[in-house]
Amino acid sequence: MLSSEIKSSALLASIYSLRMLGIFLILPIFSIYASELSGSPTEFQIGLAFGIYGLTQAILQIPFGMSSDRFGRKPMIYLGLLLFMIGSLVAGVAEEIEWVIIGRAIQGSGAISAVLTAFLSDLTSDKSRTKGMAIIGASIGLTFAISLVISPILNKFIGVPGIFFLMAFLACIALGVVKFFIQEPSNKKKIKSATSKDIKNILNNFDLNRLNFGIFTLHASQISMFMAVPFYLLDQGQLSLDQHWSIYLLVLVISFIFTVPMIIFSEKNYKSKTFFIFSIFLIFLTQFLFIYFADGIIGIIIALIVYFIGFNYLEASLPSLVSKLAPIQRRGLALGVYNTSQSLGIFVGGSLGGLIASFYSYQGAFLFCSLLIIIWLFLSISMKMPSRKN
């Protein structure tokens, strides 16, 4: 990659990671905070506040991307960051769950993922684009890991409202980065607009749809699970909220020790499918570990380690597989559908997972997730990995 491409990719990755902070930074603490709001919110309301971010993301992802083709990348990024900022402020000042839900919906309406992906395509050559996507992917993984660890610490000092205000402040910084450090190319490459036939082909591509269902399931189970995990650590683990960071740090370090060799070995020895299926099984196994064995801190830690080994591998593999299987000229469209599926998973995991938990407790939510995962597992068994040349 050229130095200019590395710089552009890193800057866009920082903006991309900011959007993911809208999910990750409150993930380990939000359910406890929301349960203590006035009016005694139900599990469904808490889950809806969690997941509605994903719904507005899913609805507006493609319109934002299309608008950026017409009005330019930077104006749409400005709009998306402004909406994210407004939503953060609304959620930060809210004292009732209804206003938190509204704030989270506004946060999610800043759906700039597709715009950023298109911007990356403008600023990188064909041969460097996959590396640029890898930089973005790595930044998201790093954001997730850091968020789990620092979130309980930040909560101790500034609380969840303070974290929402921090998100708004970071959005201001991101606006400055886009304004002063990223330039739209004067010779932007012209890519023929997707026809209805192109869209139909992408939507009917069974191999891509398997991956889309995979990212949907992965994030639905993630959001649903993290509605319960903080309470498990409080009740079964006997840990105060400001101590949760130590568990997440331990779990993440151990899981990365396993995940990194898995990725290297699977690529080097052509075992990607074997490890892909194995990772889905680990996510499936986690649901039952939480139901039957997470009755103490050791059981919770084991369940989380098993989960993150599978999650880390799948989170890294899925977008790479989409980019390899999609037609070259329609890779952006395929990734747009993929991002939409991810956002829908966040919504379903929060809202439907919360609804099920309100009737059948969190164990019911784990069983719901296990059903989604077993469907994904069966769909993936017949999957063919792309050849090396692709």
**DSSP string for 204-227:** T-HHHHHHHHHHHHHHHHHHHHHH
- Token pair listed for 275: 């490890």
What token pair was written down for 30? 């939000």
pLDDT for res 316: 80
H helices present in 72-125, as ranges: 73-93, 97-109, 113-123
End-to-end CA distance of the chain: 19
Which tokens sit at 57?
């993301």
Helix (H) or strand (E) holding 190: none
**What string of DSSP letters covers 42-61?**
-HHHHHHHHHHHHHHHHHHH
pLDDT value at residue 332: 67
Residue 318 corresponds to which tokens in the numbers above? 């899925």
Query: What H or E segment, with its residue span, contains residue 238?
Result: none
Q: What pLDDT, on a 0 to 100 scale, did the predictor assign at position 381?
A: 93
Q: Which pLDDT score is estimated for 193?
A: 60
Q: What is the pLDDT of residue 322?
A: 83
**Which residue shows structure tokens 């890898």?**
134
Q: Which residue has the tokens 């891509």?
A: 208
**Which sign, positive or negative, has the C-alpha torsion 202, 207, 211, 213?**
positive
Query: Is the CB of residue 228 less than 8 Å from the CB of residue 358?
Result: no
Please, where in the chain does CATH 1.20.1250.20 lie?
1-180, 194-390
- What is the separation of C-alpha 325 from the centre of its chain, rounded to a whole number of angstroms? 21
Check residue 238 and give left, alpha or beta (phi > 0: left; psi -120 to 50: alpha).
left
Q: What is the CATH code for 1-180?
A: 1.20.1250.20
Looking at residue 191, its pLDDT comes to 56
DSSP 237: S
- Taking alpha carbons only, the member of 22, 32, 19 closest to residue 227 is 32
Block mean pLDDT (10 aa), the chain, length 390: 86 83 85 92 93 92 82 92 95 95 94 84 76 78 88 93 93 91 71 70 89 95 93 92 93 91 84 93 96 92 95 85 77 80 93 92 93 96 74
Closest CA to 342 of 108, 68, 116: 108
Could you say which architecture CATH assigns to the domain 194-390?
Up-down Bundle (1.20)
Question: With contact defined as beta carbons under 8 Å apart, do 314 and 280 qualify?
Answer: yes
Angstrom distance (rounded) from CA 253 to CA 55: 32
- Crossing angle of helices 206-235 and 331-381, in 10° steps, is 70
